Amino acid sequence: MHIAVLDRERCHPKRCHHECQYFCPPVRSGTPTIEFPVNDEQPVINEPLCIGCGICVHRCPFGAIKIVSLPDELNSDITHQYGLNSFRLYSLPVLEKGKVTAILGQNGMGKSTTLKILSGLLIPNFGKYNEPATREGVVQHFATSVMGDYFRDLYDQKKKAVLKDQNVDLIPKVVSGTIGEVLRRSDPQGKLDSIVSRLSLSGSMDKDVKSCSGGELQKFAIAMTLLKDADIYLFDEMSSYLDVAERIKIAGIIQELSKTRTVMIVEHDLALMDWLADSVHIVYGQSGTYGIISEPRTSNKAVNSFLEGYLREENVRIRNYSIDFQEKSARRTSSGAEVASWNQLSVELEGFTLRVHDGVIRSGEVIGVLGRNALGKSTFAKILAGQLTPTTGSVSRTLKISYKPQYISSDFQGTVSELLIQGLGERWDSPMVKNEILKPLEIDSLMDGHVQDLSGGELQRVSIALTLAREADLYILDEPSAHLDSAYRMSAARIIRRVMENNKKSAFVIDHDVYLIDLISDALIVFSGEPGKSGVSMGPLPMKDGMNLFLKEAGVTFRRDAVTKRPRINKLDSRLDKSQRETGNYYYSG
């Protein structure tokens, strides 16, 4: 069975003179597989005629066509299809009361679509996109499974579902007022004070929603969800913009909620999801084309399978490489010459004070930067990048710097290719840039897209690529994992690491994803203090010392997985958690 997906926003038939049609092999009485209905309108792929040769895919200069071969038995298991030649979702996860169920996988494979179906916002059509989808049809389709009862109760309003959307950065566009005003209007049960306290939102209650940070918007969205009295809670990406301590705190709230409610999460922080979820469904397929939801696994087996890139039970390879972690806590690379140093740095801003201990970075070295939100990490990055002048102290550097800020602007008027050509000049044609950066980040598929139309994840990938592709001595990347799914986070980590090692360059990487920091760092700088009021840095420190310092403040201990050596969060007050706290080994067991 061949499925065809046509991205109508990318398709420009008048500009390419219908090359997809001219080169499509005629089959079945000479009828072309790709047809143009009337007046050069966008083409339609006649899927029953498609032989899956892939010629049109390679001929299309805009990357608008995808054709994928699937086993015939999947055709009868379509859960939802958006339209002719459009994305298809196969199967649904199974939810259980009293457990946290999770979906793990790449963006563009139907995770958010799945949550919309489970919340009742979208009625699945089971591939019959040209017919009205009905709730009765859904209940009948799942009549012999536990999901039949789930949808019957949901549609009959015997149970209520609530969904926390992933796009918290869009909240200011649709919500007006302060956080406190909006939350009070949504608190019929009098739970507000407790939720605000547990989410540490008290200091943000008087802030206008339109002036809130990403972390405040995330906690605001979670608070709005928890205030609603429901039977089913669905959380789509709850950790974005939050630091490790905040993520663990919110995970604890959700875990407690799952004891009496049905809970499902979509999460890209693998350590957090592993710690929180009882069962995990992996979604695999091809981004923007189709997604298949696997049978449930334990969180440990699911994460290990995802990192290996191979689902043994389904005998499916979802990635052509595995993601490997190192157990050693020592510096990974030998340090070269000094690239930059700083001493006696301090910054006095409005109501905030930052103190930075003396430090140095050497060529070929990657320094990870960890710490809670609002402690001055981004401020320090701006000082190193030369965008902010410190109140006292100095930075010694005679080098080129490439800087990716925390919040990325999409104001550029033009396509991705135009942005890269303008930003890179002659390096645009460099084989190193194309093979080591653009290709692994899959920027080729975005080239003809307008920058202003990119999703958050696509914009982040382009920003990372542009930063790493510039000629520089020091690369500063502030939260490169934001908006990226788990696969792209791990891919970005491998690319950053490889570019620094191969080119003997140096990097500062600020992030809250412990997996990413663990994969790329030689040493750590740790920020502590009182969020929003004062911050102080320690380091660069060896990995073991830095992680122990950071996690002690966060109140979390990690262990190493016996198979993959990946970091895993210990259950609070477990035997191993208590033992590691007593010995001071919050991250490494030795």
Q: Within 13 A of 459's CA, how many CA atoms are on the CB side?
A: 19
In a domain, 161, yes or no: no
Shortest CA distance to 233 belongs to which of 241, 244, 222? 222
Q: Are residues 379 and 413 in the same domain?
A: yes
Within-domain flag for 111: no
Give the pLDDT band (50/70/90) at residue 455.
Answer: confident
Report the alpha-carbon distance of residue 481 to residue 90 in Å, rounded. 28
| Residue 12: predicted pLDDT | 79
Q: Say if 370 falls within a structural domain.
A: yes
Q: Are 444 and 589 in the same domain? A: no
Residue 261 within any structural domain of the chain: no
Is 90 exceeded by the pLDDT of residue 589?
Answer: no
Given a cut of 60, whether residue 27 has pLDDT beyond it is no
What's the confidence (pLDDT) of residue 38? Answer: 67
Question: Which of 69, 84, 101 is the last residue before a domain boundary?
Answer: 69
Residue 564 — very low, low, confident or very high, per pLDDT cuts 50/70/90? confident
What CATH number has the domain bearing residue 454?
3.40.50.300
- The pLDDT assigned to 331 comes to 54
pLDDT tier, 39 (very low <50, low <70, confident <90, very high otherwise): low
Is the CB of residue 515 less than 8 Å from the CB of residue 347? no
Q: Is residue 510 part of a domain?
A: yes
Whether residue 16 is predicted with pLDDT greater than 80 in this model: the reply is no
* Statement to judge: residues 494 and 571 lie in one domain: no
> Is 60 exceeded by the pLDDT of residue 590?
no
> What is the number of domains present in the chain?
3
Mean pLDDT across 53-66: 80
pLDDT at 547 over 70: yes
Q: 54-68, 349-363, 416-430, 511-525: which has the minimum mean pLDDT?
A: 54-68
The domain containing residue 6 runs over which residues?
A: 2-69
Strands 279-286 and 100-105: parallel
Please check whether residues 481 and 572 belong to one and the same domain: no
Distances (CA, A) of 96 to 1, 461, 478: 33, 35, 38
- Judgement on whether residues 505 and 563 belong to the same structural domain of the protein: no
Instruction: List residues bridging with 233 in a β-sheet.
Output: 162, 263
pLDDT at 95: 93
Joined together, the tokens standing for residue 524 give 């750590």
Give the percent of the chain with pLDDT over 70. 94
The CA distance from 94 to 150, in Å, is 9
Is 80 exceeded by the pLDDT of residue 520? Answer: yes
Q: Is residue 174 part of a domain?
A: no
Burial class (CB in 10 A: 0-12, 13-18, 19+), 101: buried
Say if 273 falls within a structural domain.
Answer: no
User: Does residue 42 contact residue 323 with C-beta atoms inside 8 Å?
Assistant: no
Mean pLDDT, residues 318-335 taken together: 69
pLDDT of res. 75: 57
Q: How far, CA to CA in Å, does 238 sit from each of 57, 98, 249, 430?
A: 36, 19, 12, 38
Residues 589 and 509 in one domain: no
Q: What is the pLDDT of residue 531?
A: 87
CA dihedral 430, 433, 434, 438 (to 10 degrees): -150
537 and 406 Cβ atoms separated by less than 8 Å? no
Q: Which residue has the higher pLDDT, 464 or 449?
A: 464
Most confident of 44-48, 347-351, 367-371: 367-371
Q: What pTM did the predictor assign?
A: 0.85
Mean pLDDT, rounded, of the chain: 89
Q: Can you give the pLDDT at residue 352?
A: 92
CB-based contact 195:265 (threshold 8 Å): no
Whether 240 has a pLDDT exceeding 70, the answer reads yes
Q: Is the same domain home to 486 and 573? A: no
**CA 371 to CA 554: how far, in whole Å?**
9
Question: Is 329 a residue whose pLDDT tops 60?
Answer: no
pLDDT tops 90 at residue 61: no
Are 479 and 564 part of one and the same domain?
no
Please compute, for residue 100, the number of CA atoms within 13 A of its CA located in the half-sphere on the CB side. Answer: 21
Residues 394 and 441 in one domain: yes
**Sign for the pseudo-dihedral over CA of 438, 442, 445, 451:** negative
Q: What is the pLDDT of residue 56?
A: 82
Query: What is the model's pLDDT at position 30?
Result: 65
Query: Of 69, 85, 111, which marks where a domain is finished?
Result: 69
Q: Are residue 484 and residue 566 in the same domain, yes or no?
A: no
532 close to 375: Cβ distance less than 8 angstroms: no
In a domain, 146, yes or no: no
405/368 same-domain check: yes
CATH number assigned to the domain comprising residue 37: 3.30.70.20
Instruction: Give the pLDDT band (50/70/90) at residue 260.
Output: very high
Q: What is the dihedral of CA 320, 506, 271, 323, to 10 degrees?
A: 20
pLDDT of 195 above 80:
yes
Verify that 373 and 348 share a domain, yes or no: yes
| Cβ–Cβ under 8 Å, residues 236 and 136 | no
Q: How many C-beta atoms surround the C-beta of residue 206 within 10 A?
A: 10
Structural element, H or E, at residue 45: strand 44-45
The residue among 69, 100, 127 that closes a domain is 69
